[in-house]
Amino acid sequence: MRLRPRIRTTSALAGVAALTLLTGCGAADMTKQASPYANAQGARTVTLSVQSWVGAQANVAVAQYLLEHELGYRVDTVQVDEVPAWDALSQGRVDAILEDWGHPEQEQRYVQDKKTIAPGGDLGVTGHIGWFVPTYFAKKHPDVTNWKNLNKYADLLRTAESGGKGQLLDGSPSYVTNDKALVKNLDLDYQVVFAGSEAAQITQMQQFAKERKPFLSYWYTPQWLMEKVPMTEVKLPPYEEGCDADPEKVACAYPVTPLQKYLNAGFAKDGGKAAEFLKRFTWTTEDQNQVSLMIAQQKMRPEEAAKKWVDGHESVWKKWLP
């Protein structure tokens, strides 16, 4: 009988000890964890997210170059798709997204409700998604540029992958697309083939262009490939506000999107010069395309391309510096 209370006290003590140990360790804030590679050599670090398309790389390359050479920051880049990038942004894993194509759900969740992400203003570039055919093909068959005539050309656009139908080449799964619904609702004799990544899609389009074969592809502007493989847009039923509200019933074109920047809320407030700089960063489609072409077509390293652009456009970026 004498043993029992002692056991109880020891176990109670152990429990208390465990609890104090736990609380002593304190809460680990999952929202404030930077990369282990950040600030490695004592420099202030900014972490930028890069999306898989080259335009996004161009933004980041120029921002990185200026942050490093004009403002003395160290810049880490993380390659991540848009939606996970929003998540990473809210957790502070990255400090900024420089080019967002419109994600109303994420905006509602993180900007409006949780307030962990702050808008960073316009990038200055306007994005547009659409269906494109190569211009050499459009010149030969001018009426292909209207969706109403697309079924006539399904045979020409057939590939092994699309089975008996015409192929509509789609790209990365991270892109905003209604193409499957569009094909169905517009009654088109086409099969959407997902290239799975923009790299695969570009490679395929370049191969087609090399042989001057016709193709029909989901594509967007601004995009450097346009300079290399000129493309003409196929007219879809015009976009009206709200016509894409129900993803199942979409039967209209894609909207024109002024691309946005977003910053982590904490960073936007306390990020000092870097945050100020990123908020002021705006440039034009032509500027972005110049850098993109250097990266993707001339295979320059992003930092070299950025340097070349920066050297020639002082008047543009001087305004961004805080």
Partner 1 sequence: MATITATARKPAPPGILTHRAVRKLLILALAAAVLAPIAATQWPGATWPTALTVDVSEPLGKASDWIIDNRDTHPLFLYFFGHVSNIVVIAVRAVYLALLAVGWAGVTAIGALVAWRVAGVRLAAGTAAAFLACGLLGMWVPTMQTLALMVVAVLASVAVGALLGLAAGLSDRMDRVLRPVLDTMQVLPAFAYLLPVVLVFGIGVPAAVLATVVYAAPPMARLTSLGLRGADREVLEAVESLGTTARQRLLTARIPLARKELLLGVNQTIMMALSMAVIASVIGAGGLGDRVYQALASVDVGAALAAGIPIVLLAVVLDRVTGAAGERLGESGKSPVTWLYALVVAAAVALAGRLAGFLDWPDGWDLNIAEPVNRAVDWMTAHLYSGVPVVGGTADWAAHFTSWVLNPLREGLQWLPWWSVLLIVAALAWLIGTWRTALTAVLAMAAIGVLGVWNPSLDTLSQVLAAVAVTLVVGFATGIAAARSDRFERLLRPVLDVFQTMPQFVYLIPVVALFGVGRAPAVAAAVVYALPAVVRITAQGLRQVDPAAMESARSLGATSGQQLRQVQLPLARPALLLAANQGVVLVLAVVIIGGLVGGGALGYQVVFGLAQGDLATGLVAGAAIVCLGLMLDRVTQPTERRTTKKGA
Q: Is 288 helix (H, G, I), strand (E, B) or coil?
A: helix
Least separation in angstroms between residue 104's CB and partner 1 is 14
- CA angle, 308 as apex, 71 and 41 as ends, to 5°? 35
H helix or E strand, kind and range, residue 58: helix 54-69
Q: How many residues bind partner 1 (CB under 8 A)?
A: 61
| Distance, CA of 79 to CA of 52 (rounded, Å) | 7
The tokens for 29 are 């804030």
| Distance, CA of 290 to CA of 283 (rounded, Å) | 11
**Given the complex with partner 1, which of 14 and 40 has the nearer CB atom?**
40
Our finding on whether 303 is near partner 1 (CB under 8 A) is no
Contact pick of 46, 62, 67, 80 for partner 1 (by CB under 8 A)? 80
| Distance, CA of 265 to CA of 243 (rounded, Å) | 32
Q: Is 251 helix (H, G, I), strand (E, B) or coil?
A: coil
Contact pick of 74, 93, 165, 279 for partner 1 (by CB under 8 A)? 93
Residue with tokens 């810049």: 75
Cβ(192)–Cβ(163) below 8 Å = no
Q: Which stretch in 20-28, 62-70, 137-145, 243-251 sits in contact with partner 1 by CB under 8 A?
A: 20-28
User: Prior bond to 142 cis, omega within 30?
Assistant: no
- Taking CB under 8 A as the criterion, which residues in 25-44 touch partner 1? 25, 27-31, 33-37, 40-41
Binding pattern for the stretch 252-281 against partner 1, x by CB under 8 A and - elsewhere:
------------------------------
- Taking CB under 8 A as the criterion, which residues in 184-203 touch partner 1? 193-203
Which residue type, as a one-letter code, is found at position 257? T
Binding pattern for the stretch 45-74 against partner 1, x by CB under 8 A and - elsewhere:
-----x-xxx--x-----------------
Our finding on whether 11 is near partner 1 (CB under 8 A) is no
Which spans of this chain sit near partner 1 (rule: CB under 8 A)?
22, 25, 27-31, 33-37, 40-41, 50, 52-54, 57, 76-84, 86-88, 91, 93, 109, 159-161, 163, 169, 172-174, 193-204, 207, 210-211, 295-296, 299, 301
